[in-house]
A and B are shown apart, each in its own frame.
Chain A
Amino acid sequence: MTTPSSQQRLRDMMLVRRFEERCAELYGAGKIRGFLHLYIGEEAVAAGLLPALGPADTVVATYREHGHALLRGVPARAVMAEMFGRVSGCSRGRGGSMHLFDAERRMYGGWAIVAGHLPVAVGLALADRTLGRPQVTACFFGDGAVAEGAFHEAMNLAALWQLPVLFVCENNLYAMGTALERYQAQPDLVLRARGYGVDAASVDGMDVEVVAAAARDAVERVRAGKPFLLECRTYRFRAHSMFDAELYRGSDEVARWKQRDPIALLAGRLRTRGQLDDAALAALEQDVAREVEDAVSFADASALEPIEELTRHVMAEVAP
């Protein structure tokens, strides 16, 4: 695997941002329904982390995973078609926004029971270990997951069996609308991992270059055969979902965090280094906008699955 340039990471984050801004508009237009959890503000975590993985590694993520799917290489067309519930979607439209799967790219969801996918990630790593494969499973989850029993059981199992799982905690400071210090007696989440014998580090999740460096180091440790937890301190700029009046936080707090917008942060740094100018930035903007618009057109033109197929994909079509 090759390490992407900073320009590439900037484009990655811009793609995710643009994609989701369009999703919000399309939600308003009724093209996308159900829950829609935007990752806007948190893009540096996926953009910093995912390129550190190889193609045979496995990604397991939450219901706020549009960015993870896109940056894992799932085509924007397939992701957008999934949002539209079309049969050309990456999960045939059966999953929607919260359940993006692409087996070929080892994007293994898209899970929407908070922390329920952590034991699954442990099992994926157990399979790799048992079959002698050198793969890593990267498991993303939010700070809210740390309050679930499944987090603790998964930490213990991963440490006890020394399994190659990289736990990536996207700490955006809120479990839906409840602030971390209002639901955790010990808000230092890294201590939770260390308590189970899982090595852990905490980094600035708004700075993609910091995340990327930490990710390289963490993946190396995990590939050597030990679980690791990387906490990325980040912030969600938008509401939890489309049904959130954001009564639990002040606009001043949101504004403060927006000063550290991961895209602006990297773009500013690249300008200072002389690696980006207005023309290059405009070209990138155009480029991602084109990719997103192409995905929207594709999704809109895609067919719905025939109702006759309703009960397919429940059990394998060849019984034992």
Chain B
Amino acid sequence: MSRTTYREALRAALAEALERDPRVILMGEDVAAYGGAYAVSKGLAERFGRDRVRDTPLSEGGFVGAGIGAALGGLRPIVEIMTVNFSLLALDQIINNAATARHMSGGQLGVPVVIRMATGAGRQLAAQHSHSLEGYYAHVPGLRVVAPATLEDARGMLATALRSPDPVIIFEHVGLYNLEGELADDAGAVDLDRAAVRRPGRDVTLITSGGSLGKVLTAAEQLAARDVEAEVIDLRTLRPLDDATVMASVRRTRRAVVIDEGWRTGGFAGEVVARIAEQAFYELDAPVARVCSAEVPIPYPQHLEQAALPQVEGVVRAAMQAVGRG
């Protein structure tokens, strides 16, 4: 085991990918000379050269499209988008091209591109750099969408994503880059199919992903102090969703709360709730609850930003209500 951070785990995964496969390139805004907006790719250009770690102009549609084309042409490109809000400039490429090429070619072409982007709030970056739009992408057939919430997944999801014959979107929550902990020295590829039970419990299932996992685990500890044993599920992969792990848990606990940093209306949490209603309705003892962001663009001042986001207290309250003690 070694002490490391989420950022370093991502960097180790990138370095390993570039080392192992000459078809792998990393491209995006400021990934080379600057070292990445969140310093994830620091040092990689020096090590692998500016052709394989390639700075791009501020042309999200252009360079994401080029990543898609490069994937069609036989490379295994990793495209970094600085933040999910900027990915909207590349939404056409991702949804109209990457997600459709296999289908509209009748299965002849595949787009093995990996698109990484920062997501989420908590750093006072206001309303154009802080949103959680994972649900937009999770809506689209043809994409695989993952959200590493742990050091193991930060280290291990990329290698598996690069083996995927289809586009994979990796969401890295900005609040996680400095997350520190122990990581096995031989940590490597992990699956992109299964949700993980991060804490077992029998009374209520708390379902979350990405940047909210830490808050939810803290909430589970507080609940334990009040004799409520919460089971915490980290979805890990938002598309395709691992229904089996979620339903197995909900059938045992008979209660569920979904925690999602996206907005409530039309959001990803609603999808999880709907699946529980479709598949486990008669096993529920309480309405399924959601803890989501407030219906507001993320504000700049810290107190308002924090008030807009799912917080530990809100999760505890929703869980207590679900177990009938709210």
List the interface of chain A (C-beta within 8 A of B).
58, 89-95, 99, 101-103, 108-111, 113, 116-128, 130-131, 149-150, 153-154, 156-157, 160, 312-316, 318-320
Contacts and interface: CB of A to CB of B under 8 A. Distances in A.
Given A123-B67, A127-B69, A153-B57, A320 B106 contact: no
Contact of A122 (B52, B62, B104, B141): B62
Contacts of A93: 106
Given A122-B65, A126-B70, A101 B93 contact: no
Given A121-B69, A123-B72, A154-B66, 5 more contacts: A92-B107, A101-B104, A109-B101, A124-B69, A316-B110
A313 B102 contact: yes
Contacts of B165: 315-316, 318, 320
Contacts of B109: 101, 103, 108
A201 B109 CA distance: 32
A123 B108 contact: no
Contact of B59 (A91, A109, A156): A156
A121 B51 CA distance: 18
Contacts of B97: 111, 113, 116-117, 120
A109 B63 contact: no
B62 A99 contact: no
A210 to B, nearest CB: 30
Contacts of B141: 314-315
B197 to A, nearest CB: 22
B166 A116 contact: no
Interface stretch (B128-136, B156-164, B199-207, B314-322): B156-164
A91 B96 contact: no
Contacts of B102: 313-316
Given A123-B65, A153-B62, A154-B62, A89 B70 contact: no
B299 interface: no
Q: Which of B25, B73, B144, B192 has the most CB of A within 10 A?
A: B73
Contact of B74 (A91, A131, A156): A131
Given A92-B107, A111-B97, A116-B97, A124 B73 contact: yes
B75 interface: yes
Using C-beta atoms within 8 Å of the partner chain, give the interface range for chain B: 35 or more
Given A153-B61, A315-B166, A130 B104 contact: no
Contacts of B192: 320
Contact of A91 (B63, B77, B108, B144): B108
B164 to A, nearest CB: 4
Contacts of B82: none
B160 A320 contact: yes
Interface in B75-111: 75, 77, 92-93, 96-97, 101-110
B70 A150 contact: no
Q: Which of B72, B96, B160, B163 has the most CB of A within 10 A?
A: B72
A126 B166 CA distance: 19
A212 to B, nearest CB: 27
Contacts of A130: 25, 51-52, 70, 75
Given A108-B72, A118-B65, A124-B70, A320 B103 contact: no
Q: Which of A101, A131, A320 has the most CB of B within 10 A?
A: A320
A116 B65 contact: yes
A124 B71 CA distance: 8
Contacts of B25: 130
A288 B61 CA distance: 41
Interface string B191-214: 011000000000000000000000
A123 B108 CA distance: 18
A94 B103 contact: yes
23 contacts: A58-B73, A93-B106, A94-B103, A94-B104, A99-B105, A101-B105, A109-B105, A113-B97, A116-B65, A120-B68, A120-B69, A122-B69, A123-B69, A123-B72, A123-B73, A123-B77, A126-B69, A127-B73, A149-B61, A154-B62, A313-B103, A316-B102, A318-B165
B64 interface: yes
Contact of A113 (B69, B74, B92, B144): B92
A303 to B, nearest CB: 14
B150 to A, nearest CB: 19
Contacts of B62: 119, 122, 150, 153-154, 156-157
B142 interface: yes
